Amino acid sequence: MKFTDGYWCIKKEMTPLYAVEYSSSRREGNDLVIYAPGKHISSRGDILNLGMLTIRLSSPMEDVIKVSVMHFEGTAYNGPFAEVKETSPEVLIEETEDFIIYQTGKTKAVIDKRPNSWGVRFLEGDRELTNTGFRNMAHILNHETGKAYTVEALAIDVDEYIYGLGERFTPFVKNGQVVEMWNEDGGTASEIAYKNIPFYITNKGYGVLLDDEGDASYEIASEKVERIQFSVEGQRLNYYVINGGTPKGTIEKYTELTGKPALPPAWSFGLWLTTSFTTNYDEETTSSFIQGMADRDIPLHVFHFDCYWMEAYEWCNFTWDPKTFPDPKGMLQRYHEKGLKICVWINPYIGQKSPLFREGMEHGYLIKKSNGDVWQTDMWQAGMGLVDFTNPKAVVWYQEKLKTLLDMGVDCFKTDFGERIPVKDIVYFNGSDPVKMHNYYTYLYNKAVFDLLVRERGEGEAVLFARSATVGGQKFPAHWGGDCSASYPSMAETLRSGLSLACAGFGFWSHDISGFENTAPADIYKRWCQFGLLSSHSRLHGSSSYRVPWLFDDEACDVLRKFVKLKCRLMPYLYQQAVVTHEKGIPMMRPMFVEFPEDRTCETLDKQYMLGDALLVAPIFKESGEVEYYLPNGKWYNLLLNKTVEGGKWHKETYDYFSMPLLARANTILPIGSNERSPEYDYTDDTTVCLICFEDGCESVCTIPDLKGNPSVLVHAKREGNVMNVWTEGEKVGFKYQILGDEELEIVTL
């Protein structure tokens, strides 16, 4: 939100109260409370009729500084608030004549005490990360509307780029953009997003989390080109400065604060096929799809039933439509016997025609208006209400309905929607602020479903396919990018959104292969299949038409088959990277600048990504098959073309549908499995351990996990001259070793 007209002039309806200078401070345990009046105090009379900001510094964990800015502290400040972990770190507070230093770990805030010189510098050692100062931190009153705002504006350095803020389909580097934190169902072609996360990181290696679930507004080098400004309505604003030293370290630190992603089951990394949205289908239709994939030797692992598995107007009743699925339990058993897992679509809405509506209404499980009525709308489902997940009994009620489906044979849920949450005249069971609940609702929704899956299926078996999210939503994987179109620009904007979301630690992410809206030509379908099978999770899904490959052309079947089998063979590596994501919070699909922060060329790349720490993927976005991609310094090995490629430069190449840039980094131990039909198998059985472009004297180690994510075998490799020494820890089962990139080397197993 903009408060100024240019640099000097405040908008005529706005009255600001800026922090102008330090007045005094006090220590409360490990917290530092600072008082900053709205003008320079030159005499005792200056304190009269003058506002003042109260700033509290605290630290929930090492290298994280929380800043709380308050005007009227007595104003009600209701939640919900994002769940954060606090570890009671050691805090050092030092004071000199001119400064106060508040330090946790290697990160410190330096408060300027000098007259008329308000400012806080955030430092790592002597290196400044960012700062706030003159006309930045403020309380601003709109005297026309009576609304008050609390504002902060942190410095952006020369050559500093801003990334993240959730799933954003706009340009990857956020400098110059205006971003609103408001979850909406807007597709993938605008500034509207399903997953708004008020957390950004920069190429300087730190990040900032705004601790507010409300309608926060960002001006990113837009209102003030030297600043990233964020504002919220109300008398208080809280934010965390998070310093992990590097972008990757900061993502790890952020997920330590807000939660690490759960480890999804290995089977979820396989191919998902859906009925699509508004298509006509019954068991005969779905069975023909499943058999059609088998007949064409295309491995299939999860089958998803979208909305119309339930009767129209009754979403959600959690009951199979008897007209199209008269024997659902038997059908699911038959599909399980084919080796498939089953997913069904759900949402948190209860249509008035659903038998569950009256049940929820009578027990007080639906969100209400201030007069006691159930809140209802005709948008989406006639007369629908909304489950109140702030009511513990409503959560249990909702979970019990889903448990019936699990008992029947359903394995997981697509938790759709969660964005269309009302805010006017709304009362929640626990008294939450309706505006803040708008974005936070999805956290409670997905948590309720995920907790049920953990309880019923066990840890390591729970997985969702979720669309909306907020801070902490990364704990409940996986997420998908929403309603994209069947075009190359939409494919590219989908990737941008995934890379932006990754900056907030969302480690497992997918998208609708070939686009949701409309029907892609065969060319786009085949290129999107390549991209989709080299994402952490892979789903064929559409709106009004089916997504089985033979409806596009015969070659589409061949392309899909090749890349499904490729992903299955890569699972020893991919699941190892999934474990890293689970343990450290580093996403599987990550932007180039996160993996290569020292390479300035990587800072703006948004059409390629790292899949784990060793594989680079550059999807193809042109019908001609042309692609331009950049390789950081060092040797790389193209796994599909079987050739070494030099890094430190751009490459322009043309690929057919059976290949693309998939490159392994030098000095990598890459385990490739022998099972090309399933993502779930013993990753040590008959595995080929590829040794990629090792430099003399270089040593690497690779962990191969079991299906629970535990380390099974550690493979070590070290090059000494023309000899590659290889040895293992743990039980080795049938490993084969292959050198890629320097085939004249001799392998010696120790």
* Cβ within 8 Å of residue 321, ≥6 positions away: 308, 309, 310, 311
Distances (CA, A) of 314 to 370, 400, 406: 26, 18, 20
First-to-last alpha carbon distance for the chain, in angstroms, is 63
Q: Which among 238, 244, 231 is positioned nearest to 210, based on CA atoms?
A: 238
* Residue whose token pair is 């392998």: 747
Distances (CA, A) of 450 to 91, 460, 484, 535, 654: 36, 11, 25, 22, 43
Distances (CA, A) of 5 to 13, 152, 222, 229, 481: 11, 17, 12, 15, 36
The secondary structure of the chain in percent helix, strand, coil, rounded to multiples of 5, reads 20, 30, 45
Q: Which among 594, 366, 611 is positioned nearest to 500, based on CA atoms?
A: 594
DSSP codes, 226-281: TEEEEEEESSEEEEEEEE-SSHHHHHHHHHHHH-PPP---GGGGSEEEE--SS---
Supply the residues annotated as catalytic.
Answer: 416, 419, 483
Query: Contact 225/444 with Cβ under 8 angstroms?
Result: no
Half-sphere exposure of 272 (CA within 13 A, CB side): 36
* Cβ within 8 Å of residue 286, ≥6 positions away: 275, 303, 305
| C-beta atoms surrounding 89 within 10 Å | 14
- C-alpha 174/C-alpha 151 separation (Å) is 19
- Greatest Cα pair distance in the chain: 88
DSSP codes, 679-719: S-S-TTTT-EEEEESPPTT-EEEEEEE-TTS-EEEEEEEEE
- C-alpha 21/C-alpha 122 separation (Å) is 17
- C-alpha 301/C-alpha 264 separation (Å) is 14
Distances (CA, A) of 278 to 143, 203, 540, 546, 605: 49, 43, 15, 10, 36
CA 437 to chain centre: 19
Distances (CA, A) of 702 to 169, 520, 716: 35, 39, 7
Token digits for 293? 């994939």
Q: Which among 268, 189, 203, 319 is positioned nearest to 461, based on CA atoms?
A: 268
* Residue whose token pair is 């439509």: 321
- C-alpha 704/C-alpha 707 separation (Å) is 10
- C-alpha 7/C-alpha 585 separation (Å) is 39
